[in-house]
Structure formats: C-alpha cells, structure tokens
Amino acid sequence: MKNRAFTLAEVLITIGIIGVVAAMTLPSLINNSQKKELEAGLKKNYSVIQQALMMYQAQNGEKLQGNVLAKHELKPIIIKYFDVLIDCGYGSGDQNEACVPMYEIDNQNYHAYYKTYNNLAMRFALLDDGQFILKDGSTVFIENAGGSLSLITVDVNGFIKNPNRWGHDLFTFQLMADGRLLPMGADGTTFSNETIYCSVNSNNIYNGVGCTNKALTEKDYWQNLPK
C-alpha cells in the first residue's frame, strides 16, 4: 500500500483559504465584541449612578432633586458616593485641572475628544460643570449650571479610548425634579426628540445625547450604530 499525504501546494492553498476567511470574519467579531463591552459598560454605570443617588438618599433622608440645585452644586454633593480615581475639577474655567479639556470655535465651546452620534463636532456645554474619573476608568461629566437641568454623563470606557461619541460610549442621564434618574431620551427628559438628538441624519451639535434610553431598551440598537 502506498502512503498518501497532502502536497505542499494543497497545504498552502488550504492555509490561504483559512487566512481569507479569518480576514473576512475577524473584524466583524472584534466589532461585535467591542459593542457588547460598551453595552455592558453602560448598564454597569447606570447602576453605579443609581447606587450613588440611593446612598445620598439613605444618608440625607431625601432624594436629590435635579431642579433645585445651584450652579456647580451637584458635583461636590455626589462625588463622595463614587469610587473616584481622579477629580478633574469642573472642566470649565479651570482647563489646567480638567482631564478632558475643551476648545473654542467662534466663541463656542467644543470637546477636543468627543463627537456626536454621527461623528460631527459636538458642544461641550452639557458636560462642563464637573468631571471625574472612576477607578474602573469610566469618566463622569456633570451639567449643573443652576436651574432645572441637571445631567450626569458617563464615558463607559474612559475618554482615552475610542469611539468617544455620544450614543456609542458616551451616555447621558437626567436627574429629574422628583429625584428619579432617567436615561436621556425617555419620556419627560429634555432631549427626547430622537430625530434631532439620536439620528444618523441630524446635524445638531447635541446629536446623541438622547440615545441613552434607546441603547438600554432597543435590542437592535448596538447593531445599527453609524460608522
């Protein structure tokens, strides 16, 4: 009986086919894995923020209400209930202290790191009243200029890592007048119009701020993120 074996050409062809298949499928697998990580990070940070507010309530006997906070009051109230690695100041007026600085175009403040949902320039104005980095790397931003609008925004994988886009790894929550923490885009929140604030077709400088509720509730949200 003759021994049969693969020829060198057959081995090379097989390896070549495996390489082509891997090249075609690997990017998709990596992309899906990254999206799963971001989704898990969003859910984790939502829970972390809710726990911080619950600890405030337990210690003070009342819920923290978003409509009665004076300018820059929110950050020093809640930061003590987070596991903080670095306090980055307020991010506005103290750029030497800020971990995530801003830059100006025509006297309008923009983010040097972040883009909108569909990758356009985004305004800094909803994230400039406090920022700090948690020990897991997440970056928290506060909007609290006084009045009724009190927002907590989190970059779930930290500002150093991409994609650094609203609705991708940057998500915003609103502290309501009754003390509830609602994902932005939910009924009753300020930026609930998804055609403006969570749309691939919107040129609004805050596009993506209203995506948080969809990211938490829609099963196909993560598969349909714009490139």
CA distance 25 to 140: 34
Residue 102 main-chain phi, psi, to 5 deg: -115, 170
pLDDT on residue 31: 61
Q: How confident is the model at residue 91 (pLDDT cuts 50, 70, 90)?
A: confident
Domain presence at residue 110? yes
Is residue 2 in some structural domain? no
What is residue 104's predicted lDDT score, i.e. its pLDDT? Answer: 66
> The domain containing residue 108 runs over which residues?
8-224
> Each residue of 175-207: pLDDT tens digit?
999 999 999 999 999 999 999 999 999 999 999
Domain membership of residue 192 (yes or no) is: yes
Spatial contact of 207 and 217, defined as CB atoms under 8 Å apart: no
The proportion of the chain whose per-residue pLDDT surpasses 70, expressed as a percent, equals: 85
Q: How far separated are the first and last CA of the chain, in Å rounded?
A: 59
Domain count, the chain: 1
This prediction's pTM? 0.85
Q: What is the pLDDT of residues 36-47, one digit of tens each?
A: 999 999 999 999
pLDDT number for residue 145 = 86
The H or E element that residue 155 is part of is strand 151-155
Q: What is the model's pLDDT at position 105? A: 66
Which ranges in the chain belong to alpha helices (H)?
Answer: 8-60, 74-78, 194-197, 212-217
pLDDT in the model for residue 201: 96
Would the pLDDT of 95 be above 80? no
Half-sphere exposure of 8 (CA within 13 A, CB side): 0
75 located within any domain:
yes
Dihedral sign computed on CA atoms, order 120, 121, 127, 132: positive
Residue 96: pLDDT over 90: no
Asked whether the predicted pLDDT for residue 10 surpasses 70, the reply is no
Cα–Cα distance measured from residue 227 to residue 210, given in angstroms and rounded to the nearest whole number: 18
- What number of helices (H) and strands (E) belong to the chain? 4, 9
What mean pLDDT is predicted for residues 92-116? 74
Residue 159, in any domain of the structure:
yes
- List CB contacts of 87: < 8 A, sequence separation 6 or more: 79, 132
Query: With 80 as the cut, is the pLDDT of residue 144 above it?
Result: yes
Maximum distance among all alpha carbons in the chain?
91
